[in-house]
Structures are given as structure tokens and as C-alpha cells.
Amino acid sequence: MNLATLDLMVVAAYAVMLLFLANFVAREKSGRAKTSSDYFLAGRALPWWAIGASLIAANISAEQIIGMSGSAWVMGIAIGAYEWMAALTLVIVGKWLLPVFLKHRIYTMPQFLEQRYDHRVRNVMAIFWLGVYVFVNLTSILWLGALAVNTVTGIDLLWGLIGLGAFATAYSLYGGLKAVALTDIIQVVLLILGGLMIAWIALNEVSGGAGVLAGFQLLTERLPDKFDLIFTPESEHYADLPGISVLLGGLWIMNLSYWGFNQYIIQRALAARSVREAQKGIMFAAYLKMLMPIIVVLPGIAAIVLAPDLETPDRAYPTVMKLLPSGMLGLVFAALLAAIVSSLASMMNSIATIFTMDVYQRLGTGDKSEQQLVRVGRLVSLSAMVIAMLVARPLLGQFDQAFQYIQEFTGFFTPGVCALFLMGIFWKRTTARAALSMALASALLSLGLKLAWPGLPFIDRVGLVFLLCLAIGFLVSHLDPRGAGSKAMALDAVDTRTSPGYNSAGLGIIILLTALYASWW
């Protein structure tokens, strides 16, 4: 796909604007140096709109846009369950989990685990997350982002890796989370405008110019099986989205772990100026998640009619992009870049935060100065990006569908992480030994079930391992002679009351989801 001069001008304008704005919002008053709170948590002063936009910008990347559109080309609208159920998960996180974290004034999730359990749990999980974030998450975002850019423009993969990494570093390295979060509103606006534009043009093309509604109706008539929201066991796609488990089973565990206990995501909510502001941001993100299937899934279904003979499903979104006229193509390509670099920048900052606050700050003796912590954070951000550039091709270049392998790998640990957090928050008797046991059991049980029961759907395996981890946590806690000790949490000391506005908005999400699934049941 060739970008015209006008398209290149649009992309260049986006890049210049982003770099300027990032450096502008991250500047400090004359004579004032950045502190660790400024760099890692934006001074704990983020407004709700920045929190909500940054949550979505960090979440949506090229592999999700292109990969989910490709899945829609194969499975249809059912793949949108990942987005819709995430919206409801965010409502729960905002009410019951976020107030706990904000009360403890933490920088990182490992820090919370030390406050709840002990230093062993903090150290193990900090090292675990650093390894996963650098060698799995950051590397995959960079590699799959470069693949997406290569698919759309033909730019060589190596130059794509270097260009994306350098751009993300240039706009986020100096300002930290503040630069990332306050510019993410631009990234999200681009994502939504670009996505709606593609969906609009694709549906209009399906109808032969008769309009968007006519195009949508034509799709439902010609491809009724692509509008099944719940797959039955007889469906060829049941293993990927196993029926009712999508609504009541293992997908909940994956969503709670990702949105509630993942440093990469929750960090922007930890930077809120207040609990109420964080909750408004969470709700803003929840409604944006409800919109995402229109932006990402519909173009993939439309591509079944527009390009029924694709070589691979992941070419669905780039193929639909070819319908865009000059100028609009540049805007949508800029939106794709926005999704990639925002996720890269967010991941870099989270890696720097965990290493600096959970590892470096606790090394040796004596207090580290605020300037030292910021310098180390910047150095770690840069180092993580360089490492990701170097290992991306060796680690992921051998896989035809790298995203699926990544999901499978992280799914080995998700049940244990979710179990040790939930039990730590909601059951005072949970011990540190139980937390470590659940973390270890998650990997061993997941691997064992995969080998012994290969036909078990991935989502169902996650749910089953989670239940087994809870049982292990209860058993070890009861047998542990030391008990939970003085670090046991008193949940009733945390104010989990929410405003009438939050409750009404949360009820709105529930009503929308109920109506959506009831209409296709």
C-alpha cells in the first residue's frame, strides 16, 4: 500500500504534534527537578479524562487492531466479547479494587504485595513481571507493530522496529508517565476517528454506496453465522470462545488479572489525584471499550464480503484500509501508529517503575535521591527498548501467529496472579506462603493440564487452574503455623462506596451488555 504525499504529510504532522505536546506537558517550573512521583506517577495529579484515555491507549495496540479484525474475519462478532466483558470488568475494578490500591499509596503492584504479604512475594513477582514485560510484552508490541507497519506500507521490518522504538522513546523518555498519559487523549481521538472512518467506509462499500445501515443489514443477511455471540460446542470456533465460559468462566480471570492487577494498566489509575477522579477515568474507559468492537470487529466482518480470498486473516484490516482516499489513509495510518507507540511508551514506563522502585531503591544501604531514581528510570526505559529491539526477531520471528503464542504463555501465570491478589484482598487469613504456592502452582497446573488435556479450551483451562489455585491457597493458609500475621488486610477499613453517578454509569454498562447478548441469544 503506497502512502500519497498528502498521507505522509498527515503522518508527519501527527508525529511533530505529539513530540511537541509531550515535551510541553512534561516540563517543570524553573528550578524544580522531577521527583520519582512526577516521573512514575505524574505527580499523582492525573485528571479523569487522561486516566480513561491512557487506559485505552495502553490497551489497544497494533496486534489487537489487526489481530482482532483477523479473528472477526474468521469467527465473526463473537470475538468482541473480549472488549465488552472488559467494560464490565473495569466497573468492578473501579468499585472494589482501585480504592484498596489508592489507600495504600503504592507505586507498583509488587509494593502492594509486600505490604500485604512479605518481601519474598514482592521480590518474586517483581522479577517475574520484569521478565514478562521486557521479553514478552514490550517485545511483542514492538515486533507485531513493526509487522503491522510492514503490512500496510512495505517498510522493512528492521527499520520499522527502529523507527517505532525511537519514536516511542523520544516522546516518553523525558516526561515519564505524565507525558504518556496527557498525550494519550490525542492517541485515543485518533484511534476512534480512524476506526470509525474505516468502519463507515467499509459498510458503505458493502452496500454499494447505499449507506452504512444498509451495509450492516446486508452483512447480517449474507453472513448470519458471523453474528453469533455465543458459540455452541458444535461450532468449529468453540475451542477459542467456549460458549457460556466467555460470560461466566475463565475470561473473567483473564480480564481481572489484566485490568486489576497489571502494573502496565493500573499505573495510570494509581496516578489519579483522588479515588473519585480515578473512578471517573475507569468508567470513561469502560464506555470506550464498549465502542471498540465497532472500530475493530466490524471492518473484519466487512472484509469477508470485500475480500473473501485473503491469504491470511490478519490481512483483513490492511485490505480494508486500501479503500480509504488520500488524506484519510494518512489519518488512519497515524491512528495505527498512535496505538503502537502509546502501548510501547506505557510499557517502557511500567518496566522502569518496577525496576526502580522494587529493585534499585532497595539495593544497598542509604536512601536514594529523587534525582537518582528518575535517572535510573530513564536509563531502564531506554535499556528495555534496546533489548526489545535486539531480541524481537529471534524470539518472535519464528512464529506465524505470535499473538496466540504470547496469550498462551501469559495464560500459564494469570490464574495464580489473580488468585493471590483476590485472596489477599478479600480473605484476611491468606498467608505469604499461600501466595507463593499459588504463583508456582499456576504455572505447573497450566502446563500439566495442557499436556494431559489438550482438547480443553484455553479459557476453560484458565478458569479451572484459578479454582485449583484458590483451593491451594486456602489449604496452605490453614496449614501455615505462622498465619497471616500483622499484614492481614481489613477490607472494611477501605471505603468502597461509589458516587451515584458511578453507580448509574455502571448500571448503564450492565443494561447495554444484557440487551446486546439477549438480542442474539
C-beta of residue 286 within 8 angstroms of C-beta of residue 53: no
> What pLDDT does 403 receive?
60
How far apart CA 199 and CA 298 sit, in angstroms, is: 6
How far apart CA 167 and CA 174 sit, in angstroms, is: 13
Q: What is the mean pLDDT of residues 406-420?
A: 89
**111-140 tens-digit pLDDT:** 999 999 999 999 999 999 999 999 989 998
**191-200 tens-digit pLDDT:** 999 999 999 9
∠ CA 272-273-279 to the nearest 5 degrees? Answer: 55
In a 13 Å sphere around the CA of 187, the CA atoms on its Cβ side amount to 37
Q: Is 272 helix (H, G, I), strand (E, B) or coil?
A: strand
C-beta of residue 107 within 8 angstroms of C-beta of residue 270: yes
Q: What is the mean pLDDT of residues 26-52?
A: 90
> What pLDDT does 409 receive?
80
Q: Give me 204's grid cell.
A: 458503505
> What pLDDT does 154 receive?
85
Domains in the chain: ranges and CATH:
5-24+41-394 (1.20.1730.10)
How far apart CA 103 and CA 101 sit, in angstroms, is: 5
**358-411 tens-digit pLDDT:** 999 988 777 889 999 999 999 999 999 999 999 998 988 776 556 666 777 888
- Length of the chain counted residue by residue: 521
Q: Give me 90's grid cell.
A: 473495569
**Cell numbers 445501515: residue:** 213
Phi, psi of 46 (to 5 degrees): -70, 135
Q: What is the mean pLDDT of residues 15-23?
A: 93
> What pLDDT does 521 receive?
61
> What pLDDT does 412 receive?
93
**217-251 tens-digit pLDDT:** 999 999 999 999 999 999 999 998 999 999 999 99
